[in-house]
Structure 1
């Protein structure tokens, strides 16, 4: 503390009448400009002198502007473009030694009065109101940005992906039956399950990038039972329907289609470079039922063969949305893009 300032503090501390301390002395103690300069700055920024501004705070604090509020709190030197600028007792007290701290506390206690305390209390309350408004606007802006981003993502997704997201599926997938149990097929079955999971990730992370989270809820039910060695379709259908009747198939796992892995795993040296093919079976197929259309469905026995990637987008969505019947699916894989995928063996994706 400078010698002349310390002398002022000591003189004020010794006075018996705090009202005898002039405004100029008060301003010097509180690190404020001289009264004339303070009023000039205050009027320049608010249209009021400091005394008039305090009276406004007492009479109608709800009409204080943000600038007026912070000039009362931080002084006339406060600049709205520089947060925290102005007078701060805490800041200049940081440079005081112990005896000076005690002297400063004594003087500030002596000079404090109910009027100034109430003026500052009302200004602080008004400042909190401004802060609440800013926080609310910031939160609203953040919500608008999030909503706009969500809208952009939704607009860029295919409709079927949006339907899947809208359903908020806790899990989804198919029941998959293993039908090969000869020596060496355990390892192939393990590899098959790994490829299946990796394919789901590839489909939703690489092709449907904005649908990546769907892969985390894909939970297929893998059935591995040696009693199903080389099982025919009728055996698999009966086993599946028994599971369905006993409520062993979790909600949102397809109950009107089962998948069959005829080989327990790939035979190629590098299975990651080739897709696998599965049979998708209608568990309720009835060969004696009449043909629902006039079209030739010869060769259709309630089963279609599809490349693995199609089981996790096109095929599942068919059942999820109930958008196609089995005869339509058969015609799709027989004469459309799916047949080309089966014949070429390349990994293709639903457009």
Structure 2
């Protein structure tokens, strides 16, 4: 075992870090040497001291608070998943573009981190800071002592956790490659909104209410009822199903974009969010010139609302759709689809939308649909829509304005100094929102 000089995501050696050299005292050196030569002679307390682990009760409590399992249970889970070959031999078809099946790993990113970094927050950085201050000889002695004192179960569990984190790293790198700097900033802005907590709590309550309501039928919750799925309805032209090709291609392109957006950071996006978010695709006949008609889409969405056809947990104030223009965009640098609302809210008819670069302007009778970059369906767009349900400052922060469709249009179309070109696609760079 060796100690890396830096920790990913942690700057343990900043300009203010203590660089005063440290030397191991004789009692510590004696303990390390005994651990290496005769590990069976160590007590559990001595093993924990060498590995800088808290006492069993404290460790299990911290671990349970973090992931719902005690450390003992987490170690058992990792070993059992390894024995079942979930890491190396997945039969799950839900793979990403690099063939990495995160849903079959058996451990979440958080669970893997607890096994590799420990349950005490900030502990890895603290250890690295201390290690950097001791001599290379003492550093090697400490590393060998830590490795020698780990039980076979702990060693096996850590190996599984390290493989999980390696797979996650590959997924993160793929997402970072697919997203530019503005995309990443927009995602990070969206993650400042407490939308995940609201959605997960609401979907769980809805699922519980549906299960306990004797009047609810088997189809009341709709697709994705297991686990309380959340997401958006997407309309497409029914004739596209018959032609097949480009619809399947665009669905795949959108699915990949969603995957990258939701897997950009395992630290920011909860496992439950990734597991529950989905799109509910609905076919509708083409109306005008073999294309979709917005009034027909609104009528169909309203009918779905009235007939309780929209899955529980899905947005009821907005929907997406793919028309001929959106299909053509898939060859551009920013493929998009359309965001629309079922019907204008009564208060929207008197609201004013600023003209580009101004604070005033005329509000159309019916709000026009908005082009949305497919890379930002989730989490960015979904987070902004959920903001409509929040209270107080959470309805707006960290943005300048709330998330009414008119305000999203205004941010997209406004003229900003330094923005060379506007393509009319939401979202604009985060600094302009």
Structure 1 length as normaliser, TM-score? 0.50
CA radius of gyration, larger in? 1
Q: Relative contact order: is structure 1 or structure 2 higher (C-alpha 8 Å, sep ≥ 6)?
A: 2
Structure 2 length as normaliser, TM-score? 0.41
Structure with the larger helix share: 1
